[in-house]
Structure 1
Amino acid sequence: MTVNIGWIIKKVADDQNLSQSQLATLIDDVQQNVGNDYKRSTLKIDRIFQYSKALNHNFLQYYYEEEPYKTFREKENETFLREINELKNQLEEAIKTIILQKAYLETQQELVETQRALIAQLNV
């Protein structure tokens, strides 16, 4: 899959009802350069960053299926999934601990109430 980033940027700008002139102002450039970028299938990363920021759109996402970014992203996702699973396990353990502590506290409260009742009977 070949990404035609210029066309994609144009489509996003059009969807946001932004003219070339308005977009040029947002990226601090001239209208002619924006028009030229629309025609290009590749742009430098810093230029893509400018458009992403100006249009509040992640233009890098269109490269996620291209190598090596696809492999990088898959590795990142695997790392995130491992971390999520570890956090889930930690949360489950914490919940179990809280349940045990709650049961212990209830038992202790019952014991205190029983002792108070015994003390009250002894003081009668």
Structure 2
Amino acid sequence: MTINIGFIIKKVADDQNLSQSQLATLIDDVQQNVGNDYKRTSLKIDRIFQYSKALNHNFLQYYYNEEPYKTFRERENEAFLSEIKELKEQLEDANKTISLQESHIKTQQELIETQRALIVKLKG
């Protein structure tokens, strides 16, 4: 699948009501170059970065389903999911520990109250 990145950039700029001249100012270039970029199906990565920054839009996302980026992204997602799973397990363990500690504290408080009551009875 061919991605027409120039067309996509033009559409995003149009959706933001930005003229070629305004966008050129945002990327510190001239209007003619922006117009030429609109017609291109591919751009250098640093140019895509300029447009992404200027338009606050992730233009790289359109390449995520293309190889090798698709595989890279899948690997990253798998790594993130694995890390999330591990963190969830650690959180569950921490919550169990907290629950046990709270139960232990409650038992200790009850013991202290019982001992206080016994001391009062023994004194009185």
Indicate the residue corresponding to 1:29 in structure 2. Answer: 29
Separation in 2, partners of 1:63, 1:106: 57
Alignment RMSD (CA, Å): 0.5
User: Given the two structures, how large is their TM-score scaled by the length of structure 2?
Assistant: 0.99
Which ranges of structure 2 fall in alignment gaps of 5 or more residues?
none
Letter in 1 for 2:116: R
Indicate the residue corresponding to 2:79 in structure 1. Answer: 79
Give the match's secondary structure for 1:14. helix
Indicate the residue corresponding to 1:65 in structure 2. Answer: 65
User: Superposition pairs for residues 1-124 of structure 1, below 5 Å?
Assistant: 1-124=1-124
Letter in 2 for 1:102: E
Which ranges of structure 1 fall in alignment gaps of 5 or more residues?
none
User: Given the two structures, how large is their TM-score scaled by the length of structure 1?
Assistant: 0.99
Query: Number of matched residues?
Result: 124
Separation in 1, partners of 2:95, 2:2: 49
Letter in 2 for 1:45: I
Structure 1 ranges of 4+ moved more than 2 A: none
